Copies of this chain bind each other. A is one copy, B any other.
Amino acid sequence: MKSNVTLKNIADELGISTMTVSRAINNKANVDEQTRKQVLKKARVMGYSPNRIARSLVNRKTQTIGVVLPEISHSFFPDVVMGIEEAAYHKKYQLFLTNSVEDHEREKQAIETLRSHRVDGLLISCAQTAEDSSYYKELVKTGLPVVFFDRSVENIGASCVVIDDVESSYKVTAHLINSGYRKIGHLSGPEKVSIGNKRMKGFKKALADHGLEFKESRVVESGFLKTGGYKAMKELLSLPAENRPDAVVSVNDPVAYGAIQAVREADLSIPEDIAITGFTDDAMAPLVDPPLTTIFQDGYQIGLRAAQKLISVIEKKDFKIETIYIDTSLVVRSSCGSSVINA
């Protein structure tokens, strides 16, 4: 072990008590200016680094936040982390980052470890494989402050920071309908994940409101990754020509990228043969070929607000359990050719 300097070491060197050193270093009022200067100088010379572990044990406060992500390959999550980072930095909290890799067991394990490290609060976006919300309910019951974001569990006593998934999905689907598409398919997220079923709901509602029939065969569950989108799109492309969708709403951008790849490989063109839309507006969306029509979802803002909410709960400045909605907007690019409007 590397030998770390302690308050006592400094105290001994100076021939004073540990408490005086502690007070001097923590800028407490009742310390003689002379002594304080001596202490600070000695601390610097000796390379003192305060031991937060010991302090935490006394204070029952670690100044840490545990972040539980389902994945980090999609740029949405790094964006969220940047927002969280920013809020945490300003309030002097450190982040424990964990990645469940969409595995609920691994997620539970991560949360237990985080609890063990006595994080002051938890920021969670659920793993895809969570069968039900019982674990999260138990977690919230322990009293540890929790805020969900993106993939949330509502009404179990924890605040959530989300977008209006139903409305956003409705918005993009309606845009396709208004652009003239009639046979619209959906590459969906898992039914059990909040954003998966909400986006499906918005999709269905848009069809219904515009008098279009919902066809089960045009919906394929793709998960949230590019590879899933690729496979799912292949499936849609194998439908008999008359049933094949002329437009596809993807549950997120990566899935849309996979879909684009599948369409290209089938030698079809976008949006002439099939229009594709995404969801997130990640960094790639404007750069892919063709540029992707999608819903802009402000990951940074989601992370920022979630962290701010959590910290105010931790610091008991806020007791309200609420669902905070972050605005989204439709970003129209060429992947759903407005040309059709003129058709």
Contacts and interface: CB of A to CB of B under 8 A. Distances in A.
Contacts of A78: 72-73, 75, 77-78
Interface string A243-259: 00000000000000100
Contacts of A117: 52-53, 64, 94
Interface string A52-90: 111011001110100100001101011101100100010
Contact of A57 (B53, B62, B67, B116): B53
Interface in A280-317: 283-284, 287-289
Interface stretch (A43-51, A123-131, A163-171, A215-223): A43-51
The range of chain A's interface size is 35 or more
Nearest to A95: B97
Interface of A is mostly: mixed
Nearest to A115: B49
Nearest to A289: B289
23 contacts: A1-B60, A1-B61, A2-B142, A2-B144, A4-B118, A47-B142, A49-B112, A49-B115, A54-B57, A57-B57, A64-B117, A67-B97, A72-B78, A72-B85, A73-B79, A73-B82, A77-B78, A81-B99, A82-B99, A94-B113, A96-B96, A283-B284, A284-B284
